[in-house]
Copies of this chain bind each other. A is one copy, B any other.
Amino acid sequence: MSLVVVGSVAYDGVETPHGRVDRMLGGAATYISLASGYFTQTSLVAVVGDDFAQDDTQLLLDHGIDLEGLERVTGKTFFWAGKYTPDMNDRITLTTDLNVFANFQPKLPPRYLSEPYLLLGNIQPGLQRQVRAQMKHLRLAGGDTMNFWIKDFREELLATIREWDFLLINDAEARMLSGHENLKKAASAILAMGPHTLVIKRGEYGAMLFRKDSFFVVPGYLLETVFDPTGAGDCFAGGFIGYLAQQGFDLKADHISRGELSRAVIYGSVMGSFCCERFGVERFRTLERKEIDARFDEFVKFTSF
């Protein structure tokens, strides 16, 4: 079952307590696709400049990602640089050069329009809405957003997520969007905004899935060393939707399975944890599906009682 991923493909400069890389492949849609590609056929919709390296294109192709929707235009690829705090739970942005991403208008190749799964990475809500509106055969659609859109594009964002099946955000965003400090109250308020399912990512503390009448909470995976948390939340999203797509899951159907959704949260957590083990997308150069399933089994082991 095929998944369409829309969002940013970028170059990142990252500094963490474990080192520094001045320029490497990044962007939300890159991480989402690399993660989802382990589970399901993934098609990427994004824009890059003419500086986008052949090696980076090849990495995506090697992961079976369909790049017909990856537009190449004259100019430079989106560049972001940031530095993490010592505990790596926070970061400051040093540089944001939108470059060709500033005028991004997602263009979906016609054959993408009938795909059943859609993951909208964090971009301007109006663009997310336009993409959603073009896809008429969706079984499951949802995405991510961020503080900037919640604060300054609230009405547009609300109109956008009203049409989503699921919203994937972090705890600070959930508090900001809902106006509630308490996450249980925040979740109830957000579920009333449209999505049937809300996933709140809490970084090293794990993730929570809320539906109207149930919720599921999983702690984070304990890594010996977190090299670079960049992209972990996006890899979570990729693992989550990738697993559901692989299962042929249909959130709208009567046979909604809380068990499947919980396992999707675990696969999301697994993918996020692998992402942190190396800088940028490095871990995905060698990661194999059997390692993913082995880590899923570890989750079973360290959370069951």
Contact = CB atoms under 8 A, between A and B. Distances in A.
Interface string A28-65: 00000000000000000000000000000000000000
A262 to B, nearest CB: 4
Contacts of A152: none
B305 A266 contact: yes
Interface residues of A, number: 34
B259 A305 contact: yes
Interface in A258-305: 259, 262-263, 265-266, 300, 302-305
B183 A218 contact: no
B303 A303 contact: yes
A184 B224 contact: yes
A182 B215 contact: no
A181 B224 contact: no
B87 A222 contact: no
A182 B262 CA distance: 27
Interface string A216-229: 11111011111000
A162 interface: no
B303 A216 contact: yes
A72 B302 CA distance: 45
Interface in A185-227: 185, 202, 205-206, 208, 214-220, 222-226
8 contacts: A182-B225, A205-B206, A205-B219, A214-B302, A216-B305, A217-B303, A266-B305, A303-B303
Interface of A: 17, 86-87, 181-185, 202, 205-206, 208, 214-220, 222-226, 259, 262-263, 265-266, 300, 302-305
Given A87-B181, A184-B224, A208-B219, 9 more contacts: A182-B225, A182-B226, A184-B223, A205-B219, A214-B302, A217-B220, A217-B302, A217-B303, A259-B305
